[in-house]
Amino acid sequence: MAAANALTAREAAVKATKAKEEADVMAREAAAVVLRLFDNDAELVSELLGVPAEELEREAKPVTAARAKEIIEALRARAERPRPTRARKPRTDAADAASSASGNPAPVVTADSSRADAA
C-alpha cells in the first residue's frame, strides 16, 4: 500500500513538473509576443501589465524573434477564422415566462410611464 502511494505521489509530481515547465514556456512566449507587438517598448508593456520591465525582458529573452512571429501569425489566423456557431433556442424573457405562466397578459408601459392594458 505504501509503495502504491509513493508511486502515485511520484507520478503526480512528474505531471506537476511537466505542467510547470509548459506554463513557464508559455509565459516566456507570451512576454516575447507582447513586447514584439508593442515594438519592444518594455516600459509601456510594464505599465499595462503591472509587471516590472526587467522581468518582462528577462522572460522574453530566451524566445527567438522567429518563434514570437510564429505565435503572432497563429493568433492572427485564429482571429480571422469564423467561429463555429451553434443553433440556439430562442430565449424567453422572465416577464414573458411569468405572463404565460399566469395566463394574464403582461402590462405595457407607455412613454408617460402610465400603465395601459395590453389586451
pLDDT in tens, the chain (119 residues): 999 999 999 999 999 999 999 999 999 999 999 999 999 999 999 999 999 999 999 999 999 989 999 999 999 999 988 777 777 777 665 555 555 555 555 555 555 544 455 54
Q: How far apart are CA 33 and CA 46, in angstroms?
A: 13
Residue 93: what pLDDT? 58
Q: Single out the residue of 36, 88, 90, 98 nearest to residue 61, CA to CA.
A: 36
Residue 63: what pLDDT? 92
Q: How far apart are CA 20 and CA 30, in angstroms?
A: 15
Residue 87: what pLDDT? 72
Residue 84: what pLDDT? 75
Q: Where are the alpha helices (DSSP H) in the chain?
A: 2-37, 42-49, 53-60, 65-80, 94-102
Indicate the domain borders of the chain.
2-83
Q: How far apart are CA 109 and CA 117, in angstroms?
A: 9
